[in-house]
Amino acid sequence: MRIRIATRKSALALWQANHVAGLLDALPEVEATELVPMSTRGDEVLDRSLQKIGGKGLFIKELEVAMQAGEADIAVHSMKDVPAEMPAGFCIAAVLERANHADAFVGGAGISFSDIRQGARVGSSSLRRQAQLRMMRPDLRVEPLRGNVNTRLAKFEAGEYDAIVLAAAGLERLGLERHISHVFTTDEMLPAAAQGVIGIECLENAGALRGLLDKLHHRPTVRTTLAERAIARVLEASCQSPVASFAACEGDEMSVTALVALPDGSRSIRDRVTGPAADATGLGERLAARLLDRGAAKLLTLAGSMHG
């Protein structure tokens, strides 16, 4: 079997696609793999927030069109960019073992988050990160920052920001972990659903291909991903909503923590549930229901009106 892999053109996306290609090439059933790099609207429109141009689904739409047209067989994504509801005809056929789930603070040599000056300008376009930064440090000026990892680092190094916040996994995958001056704990900043997870998407009716991709599935990561994405699905939250979640397994037990907040950090709801890891989706749904009972829907509506 020959497999064509649709991918975005950023350095991180290409790293992820090449990583998947290497895993597939190691399977005896795979004759060859080929990358099909593509540009997406999410990559091209950088002067407006993702919320205003349609959300993070814009990073994957063109890749799905390529699969529908028969120009590619699979697409490789950061799972935190994948909407909680998959479009009809598509599925996530495999998720790889989770890398670092945490958010990373980039503040310069020897400058940890606790060292950043009063009123510092911190770059992040994620409403989830903005909310939690302001919850910890209301004095900070948190301002939009878009572009790929290297673009964001270049803007920081040019002095446009005093600090920026990025996913630790992306920096580590690109060999840029030297820029990390603080890794946020989950008590400080909960990550996005499935942050650090690579997913492989294909057409739902591609039976033979799905059977092959199933060999790359990392079962513990499947469970944490199901739990975290269930929260976003029940809350009807987009990838850019100020919603955070993190699931962790210890033996057969799983704990799931989630947060809904206003982007300005003035109001938030945080809760946690534990239960059997085998009931990952159920745990996520139960936690989401508890958040809704505590007013999460009203908070998300208000957040949307603030940043619509």
308 pLDDT band, cuts 50/70/90, is: low
Candidates 176, 177, 191; CA nearest to 227 is 191
**CATH 3.40.190.10 for domain 103-183:** yes
In sequence order, which residues have a C-beta less than 8 Å from that of residue 106 and are 6 or more positions away?
Answer: 153, 156, 163, 164, 165, 166, 171, 179, 180, 181
**pLDDT exceeds cutoff 50 at 47:** no
Q: Kindly report the average pLDDT of the chain as a whole number.
A: 92
Q: Where are the domains of the chain?
A: 2-96+197-217, 103-183, 232-306
**pLDDT exceeds cutoff 90 at 88:** yes
Intrachain domains 2-96+197-217 and 103-183 with the same fold: yes
pLDDT tens-place string over residues 247-284: 999 999 999 999 999 999 999 999 999 999 999 999 99
State how far the Cα of 251 lies from the Cα of 246, in Å rounded to an integer.
Answer: 16
As a whole number, mean pLDDT of residues 190-194 equals 97
- The verdict on pTM exceeding 0.85 is yes
Please give the CATH topology (third level) of the domain spanning 232-306: Double Stranded RNA Binding Domain (3.30.160)
Q: Out of 96-110, 124-138, 144-158, 230-244, which region has the weakest mean confidence (pLDDT)?
A: 230-244
Residue 115 annotated in active site = no
Q: What is the pLDDT of residue 239?
A: 65
pLDDT tens-place string over residues 105-141: 999 988 999 999 999 999 999 999 999 999 999 999 9
81, 103, 264, 279: which is the annotated catalytic residue?
81
**CATH 3.40.640.10 for domain 2-96+197-217:** no
Residue of 308 and 231 predicted with greater confidence: 231
As a whole number, mean pLDDT of residues 28-45 equals 81
- What's the sign of the alpha-carbon dihedral 239, 172, 217, 256? negative
Give the CA distances from residue 90 to residues 54, 97, 196, 200, in Å, rounded to whole numbers and listed in that order.
Answer: 19, 21, 21, 11
49 pLDDT band, cuts 50/70/90, is: very low
**Burial letters 191-207, b for 16+ CB under 10 A, else e:** bbbbbbbbbbbbbeebe
Q: What is the pLDDT of residue 23?
A: 98
State how far the Cα of 141 lies from the Cα of 62, in Å rounded to an integer.
Answer: 34
Out of 41-55, 81-95, 268-282, the most confident range is 268-282
Strand 141-143 and strand 121-123: the pairing is: parallel
50 pLDDT band, cuts 50/70/90, is: very low
**pLDDT exceeds cutoff 90 at 73:** yes
**With contact defined as beta carbons under 8 Å apart, do 122 and 133 qualify?**
yes
